[in-house]
With several copies, the nearest count.
Chain A
Amino acid sequence: MKERKLKNIFVNGAVSAQFIAESIEKHQHSTTIGAHSIFLGQVRADEIGEERVAGINYTAYEEMALKKMDEMREAIFEKYALSCLHVHHSLGLVPAGQVCLFVFCSSPHRKAAMEACDELVERIKAELPVWGKEILTNEAHQWKENK
């Protein structure tokens, strides 16, 4: 059984605002789309004692994450009347203030895009084998855990 090619979701470093703008522009040719729901995860400079988070270094179990993402994508398309759905997640260092997750759902009517986006973000946080190492201003680090 030959496996179909899995769509890559990983990008090196932060997701730029320019990249997001280009993704939006690409969807302005589809005249059946009436709503886009976008979620952006941004690295916070949380204070940890005397130090601050300078950035997060992301690693992933890439093969498993892409399989899992493919499974989630199928489930979301089955559940909601979406036109399209794109996910981009950073690997490597993302400095505080920069975007590390970009989820983009489009549909003819708003409800589908909004509900799909909300559900997908929750599932990504809970089920995608990705780990963030918070790098502090004194170069110490600690491992992040999603709640």
Chain B
Amino acid sequence: MNIEVLLFGRLAELLGSERLHLEAVADTDAVCSQLEGLCPALKQLNYQIAVNHMIIHDNQWLTDGMTVALMPPFSGG
């Protein structure tokens, strides 16, 4: 199982990376807790999660090849 994790804006800066690959993550909660393990400051930040380009509001099961994006508040325009 291979999950691609994309990080943007302040989150990419904080984690020092824009793209990670995680393996043992069954759902999006597991993605967040692994990343919070790497970088505890993440817990204080406000962000939305998208799975395969769709914003989710609850924990979601992941299958091989999915892409999870962690997105801080938007500031386009």
Residue positions of A touching B, CB distance < 8 A: 41, 58-61, 63-64, 67-68, 89, 100-101, 121, 124-133, 143-146
B16 within 8 A of A: no
**Across the two chains, which residue of chain A brings its CB closest to B71?**
A129
Bound: A60/B12 CA distance, A: 12
Q: A65's closest neighbor in chain B, by CB?
A: B76
Q: A61-B6, A129-B8 are in contact. Are A89 and B76 (CB under 8 A)?
A: yes
**Bound-state Cα–Cα, A129 to B73, Å:** 8
Q: Are A132 and B76 in contact (CB under 8 A)?
A: yes
Instruction: With CB as the reference atom, state the residue of chain B lying closest to A141.
Output: B13
Q: Is the CB of A121 within 8 A of B72?
A: no
| Contact, CB under 8 Å: B9 / A146 | no
B75→A63 contact, CB < 8 A: no
B77 near A125 with CB under 8 A, answer yes
Docked Cα-Cα span, A50 to B31, in Å, equals 40
